[in-house]
Every structure is written in structure tokens, then in C-alpha cells.
Amino acid sequence: MSRKDRDLIDRKIKEEKRFFDTDLLETVESVFDKATISTVLHLMRTKCIKSLKGVISSGKEARVYWGIDYEGRDVAVKIYYTLTSEFKKSMWKYLAGDPRYDEYKGMNWKKLIYMWASKEYRNLVRMHRSGVRVPKPLCIKNNVLVMEFIGENGVRAPLLKEAYEEELLSIEDLENIYRDIMDQIKVMIREAKLVHADLSEYNIMIHMNKPYIIDVSQALPINHPNAQEFLRADITNITRFFEKTGIQVIDPEEFIKELLSSD
């Protein structure tokens, strides 16, 4: 980035600080580079988001912020880190063999992150259109993804693990949620033609007693060379969790056999 570009971004940030909570702006500037700040400002100017509030969650690859759109609705703003390569190695197993992303080879780190964010957006679009219960994707620019907010009044819905540990779910709730998740997996495979590839109690949110599948950046096509291996891991994770809650579960191998034979 040239000095002229950096000066322009600095000026834009100063001009548009009113869109950010003061403390939040300082936090964002300390974690993300100026190109990311410029991207957020672009999404504001194009009326995808009106303002950015506090952090909803943080992970090894991104932070999710609470935002407000121009109709006053809550949105989730997922910003992928561009200043760290902590999860770089783990990305390769999800990109290698996926014909949609052959161009990743030789990319610099920032472009790779932009593509990874775009991959999540495209997977969300594909799943949402196919009837999988995921946050509705709204817009994407570089490493910033804006989507439907799952929760209320800026408070995100609990993860499945949290809802269970906090005893927010009855046995009947757990049974219904388990069946619902298994149905969602069927829709994901049969209609969206995608495997989540990292499904567990940590990336399913519970809102109004219904499961929402999140974090789909690593999802890959069912014709991927490692698709069955990832699918088996997904089913095993879900079975293990619900078996622990004491409800009756389907044999994972039988479920996979049925799922694949009817595909």
C-alpha cells in the first residue's frame, strides 16, 4: 500500500469515526489493518451496515461484531484476521481438492484470507437457498462478511454446548434439536451438495429452540476427495455430544450409509 493510499484511509477513518463506538474503534484499529478498516467503511457507505458495536465472539480466524443495518436491524459482522497466519496450515486440507478454489496456490496471505471469507459467503448462500438453517448472508467485501444476526438485542444466541451446560434445554428439547440437526445434515448433503466438515456442538447456535448451523467457511462439495471422511467426523461429533446428554441416537454408520445410498 502506497503512502498516498495510507493517508487516504487515515483521513476516511477520521471522517467516519462517528459510525463506531469510540472504544470499539480503538479495538478494531489495534487488531485489524487499515485495509480492513477501509473495507468496513466501504460497507457503511454502500449501506450494508450503518454502525458497528461490540464483539460478539472471537476465534482463531476471525472476530464477529454486532452491527446495525440501515433498517435498524441487528446484523453479525464477521471480520477475518489479516495480520496473523495462526490458522493458515489448517486451511489447506479444506482448499486442496476443491475445484472451486484451485487458484489459491501461490496466493499471498491477504488474498488467501479474502478468498476464505468469500468461500464462507458462497457456502452460506448455497446452504440458505437449499433450505439449510444458517444465518442469511447479506454482503461480503474482502475479509468482512455481513450476515443475519442470530440472537436478540445485540446478544447472540447460545451455542449448543452452552445451552446444554447452562441447562436451558429439556430432554424433549434435546431430542427435537438432535432430529432437526440430522435433518439439516440431510438437506446439506442432498440439496446443497456440501459437507460442513467441522460440525460439532461448538458451531451450532440455538435460537427459539431451533438449531442454526454456523461457521461454514471450511464446507466443501460432496465430490471432494475427502468429503466422506469429513462427513463421518461431523456425524461422529454430533452423535457423541447427544449420546452424552442421555437421549437415544442413531448409529452413525447406519445414518451415513443411508445418507450416501440415497444421494
> Which residues 6+ apart lie within 8 Å of 111 measured at CB?
none
Q: What is the Cβ-side half-sphere exposure of residue 26, based on CA atoms within 13 angstroms? A: 2
Catalytic entry in 74, 98, 215, 234: 215
The answer to whether the CB of 227 falls within 8 A of the CB of 221 is: yes
Neighbouring CB atoms inside 10 A of 236's CB total 15
Active site residue 69: no
Beta bridge mates, 57: 64
User: Which is catalytic among the residues 74, 98, 198, 234?
Assistant: 198
Tell me, yes or no, if 180 is annotated catalytic: no
CA–CA gap between residue 26 and residue 18 (Å, rounded): 13
Q: Which among 146, 133, 124, 102 is positioned nearest to 219, based on CA atoms?
A: 124
Which among 120, 228, 237, 219 is positioned nearest to 178, based on CA atoms?
237
Pair 126, 99: CB distance under 8 Å:
no
Cell numbers representing residue 227 in the block? 468429503
In our burial notation (b when 16+ CB lie closer than 10 A, e otherwise), range 136-163 reads ebbbbbbbbbbbbbbbeeeebbbbbeeb
For residue 75, with 0-12 CB atoms within 10 Å meaning exposed, 13-18 middle and 19 or more buried, which class applies? buried
Residue 31: phi and psi, rounded to 5, are -100, -35
Residues taking part in catalysis: 198, 215
